[in-house]
Amino acid sequence: MLQPSIIICHHDPVYLSLLGDYMRERDFTVYTTMDAEQVMPMLGNHLIELCMVDSNLARHSAFELVNQLRVHNPHLPVVMLSPVSSREEQLLALKSGAADYITIPADMDVLIARLKALIRLVAPDKEDTMPTEFELCGMKFDGKAHRLGDKTLSIRESDLLLLLCRYKNKTVLRSHILRSIWASEDVFASRSLSVYINRLRHHLGDDSGVSIIPVRGKGYVLVEN
């Protein structure tokens, strides 16, 4: 698994910084916040595969946040972090919708293995339930039939556009695209991605109202004007 994208919401700035840096060193893309109210907007702006929530969040019940995440993002694994090993708190977290409850400080190798296992576990179910047809400024795109308006796309063009459509207005990491469609992040796959992005721009046309915008150092975002 390459560069999973996660959110960590924790009240302690020192622990948040240390955990975020540790995860980044192990090839996670990490977004951090101390404010529970920022988690949902962050989910709206980024392609996120897992969320870690501190049980001691201020100004907002951690359990309410977990429940809110599960209601609005049923395929998103949510892990609660807690400094206490409490049976009652663990049950409450799981009943609220948490996929796991981890007592901290934890063995970091085990923690990362558990997080990656959760992401792998939900990936097939998430893929099966995601839409394959979209309307792009009056053009119908059918990802299964590989059709964009009256044009027939190649399978790879169609798969790339489908991925971008599913996360419209969100930055899709270059690494995520490469591992999802090319199953490789080598230089040849990276160059091929750039070629296919240009092909899709040509298919969409300059006046379509749909743009594929590069996000420097990160990836691409599909925007409908």
- Could you read off the pLDDT of 119-171 as tens digits, one per residue? 877 664 455 556 788 988 888 999 888 899 889 988 889 989 999 998 888 88
**Residue at a domain's end among 87, 103, 128:** 128
**How many structural domains compose the chain?**
2
Is 16 found in the same domain as 118? yes
Q: CATH no. for residue 180?
A: 1.10.10.10
Closest-CA residue to 102 (of 120, 119, 115, 121): 115
Q: What is the pLDDT of residue 1?
A: 42
In this structure, what token pair is assigned to residue 193? 């991605």
Amino acid, single-letter form, for residue 24: R
Is 196 found in the same domain as 123? no
Residue 74 belongs to domain spanning: 5-128
Check: pTM over 0.85? Answer yes or no.
no
Region of residue 131 (left: phi > 0; alpha: psi -120 to 50; beta: else): beta
The C-alpha angle 76, 79, 80, rounded to 5 degrees, equals 140
Q: Kindly report, residue by residue over 78-135, the tens digit of the pLDDT.
A: 888 888 777 888 888 888 888 888 888 878 888 888 888 888 776 644 555 567 889 8
Is 108 found in the same domain as 10? yes
Is 217 found in the same domain as 173? yes
Q: CATH no. for residue 15?
A: 3.40.50.2300
Average pLDDT of the chain, as a whole number: 84
Is 179 found in the same domain as 102? no
